[in-house]
Structure 1
């Protein structure tokens, strides 16, 4: 239960997607929700999405039936989740300098399709019956990806440039990351940061957490907001620096971090949408009032720059491609 002080804290904007069918753009409550989405991403950079398509039963199957058993594996098995030395952020993260030793994460990258989920599961459990794991993970990832695509389409429509959606979507890669943040335990008071303040290199990021809170988002005036889900079907949708660049700074890419307290580990799954095409603001979004803010660039180059710069809390997009 939230304390009085927590109850007085500002919260993320809440947007109800129960009247939106991602497969039917424009139908139902689409236009009304679109206006809320564009406003939330422009002013706050993220929002709390009430998304019944990923309800409590599906979440229980995902976390209790799949994610937790993944982190029960020995370290040697988890390290098999690798996409090569040129793609260090696409596979297993654990024991990396600059990251908390109490954080580790595995990922399915590029496209979260049934065959890729199955290949990941077979890599983790070569001799296991992985059907239940695959069904839970792919089912959740597919629904989250549908929300991500709907939000991206809404942003482009809301800014008056819907014609760019199909090309952007065709180039999009997804990283579906499953994470564990170990609790301090031992009667420790307060929270400990498990993943430091940063902005994402994605266009959009969608976060689904399980039972234990911990996500904190920084507002434009520097205040940290502790995310408390508004419903059992809540997800956090957050703009990354690549959407900020593509929209010519019309959306915010908020700094955020994860801090955990108590004795129970925090689990989350995160879908990152990464553009495969060059990021360049459309001509329609550049004018005298909005001069070009960022140089054209590729996401892979930007990610390599961020990795080389380390965990410093700074505006890496501006440093990398700012005009």
Structure 2
């Protein structure tokens, strides 16, 4: 059951300078971030550093032409059978009307240019596409890194930030959810929890993202020209010893206008193990140390697909 009356916590990042931690409104915003991520596992960030003009250049100038390409071209976004979520997703049973493409290390200009060359080998659309995609991905990365640093500081384990950052990579994913041409909502991507550290979602005009609260209520997150949705993934839930909540979420669309979104995922390339500072009598170990890639493989296995709390089933203590 959902309601439009409920809303996610809204946090204003206007006074936060990601390049200068601790200055301006950093401390006050950090307190709001920690409360939101512990309680809801997500929040709606007002992040004006990513301008409406940049969003328009991304979605209208880059994303729409990308999804207009033939399927055979989009399928070139492939990284091998052992990395099924690194590239193109489409034609999946149970996910009708959903397509998605991704750029590994999309916060850096070179991988974005390589991706564009893969999609448009003649080079005709590359410069505009690259500028739009990298510009947005780099801005979202600033917010992701600021939130990740705030989490480390808020938990009293800031000393681990630099080492974890050096072992974290980012996936920039662009998605299309076709309109059902009906007033009744159609689920295009079912309820799930993300497997990574943090996810940041940039919606474009058409609503559809729904977040589930701890008590089972579904909250529709309406797009705005300056907001980004930040949510915790299972990797960060495990690393913080269950101090942060990883929310279930889904995409439901209605009407006759196609929905587009862009997401930045921070992905751990290190063993997921809660630091000693986050384990005590009040907070005993909740999860066994594990490799995140092993967890992802479990999630897509027949056994993992049957589990609601996949993390607990995989490595819960």
Q: Which residue of 1 aligns with 2:73?
A: 77
Task: Indicate whether 1:145 and 2:141 are aligned.
Answer: yes
Give 1:312 shift: 5.1
Structure 1 unaligned regions, length at least 5: 1-5
Paired residue secondary structure (1:291):
coil
Give 1:97 shift: 2.8
Q: Which residue of 1 aligns with 2:204?
A: 210
Give 1:7 shift: 7.9
How many Å separate the matches in 1 of 2:256 and 2:287? 44
The change in CA–CA distance for 1:288 and 1:7 in structure 2 (over 3 A counts) is closer
Give 1:169 shift: 0.4
What pairs with 1:1-323 in structure 2 (closer than 5 Å)? 9-98=5-94, 100-110=95-105, 112-129=107-124, 130-185=126-181, 188-229=182-223, 231-309=224-302, 314-323=308-317
Give 1:128 shift: 2.4
How many Å separate the matches in 2 of 1:189 and 1:61? 29
Give 1:172 shift: 0.5
The change in CA–CA distance for 1:181 and 1:275 in structure 2 (over 3 A counts) is same
Paired residue secondary structure (2:131):
helix
Contact 1:197–1:313, Cα closer than 8 Å, also in 2? no
Number of equivalenced pairs: 315
Contact 1:294–1:318, Cα closer than 8 Å, also in 2? yes
Of 301-310 and 30-39, deviating more is 301-310
Give 1:33 shift: 0.3
Deviations 1:71-114 (A, max 9, x none): 0000000000001111001100001234x120000000145311
C-alpha RMSD of matched pairs (Å): 1.5
Structure 2 unaligned regions, length at least 5: none
Runs in 1 of length 4+ with deviation above 3 angstroms? Answer: 309-313
Length-normalised TM-score, structure 2 = 0.97
Deviations 1:247-303 (A, max 9, x none): 100000000000000000000001111100111001000000000000011111111
How many Å separate the matches in 1 of 2:101 and 2:155? 35
Deviations 1:23-43 (A, max 9, x none): 111111100000000000000
How many Å separate the matches in 1 of 2:34 and 2:12? 14
How many Å separate the matches in 1 of 2:25 and 2:133? 28
Paired residue secondary structure (2:270):
coil
Give 1:313 shift: 6.7
Deviations 1:160-218 (A, max 9, x none): 11001011100001110000000001xx2311000000000011000001000000011
How many Å separate the matches in 2 of 1:225 and 1:116? 35
How many Å separate the matches in 1 of 2:113 and 2:156? 39
How many Å separate the matches in 2 of 1:169 and 1:224? 32
Paired residue secondary structure (1:166):
helix
Paired residue secondary structure (1:271):
strand
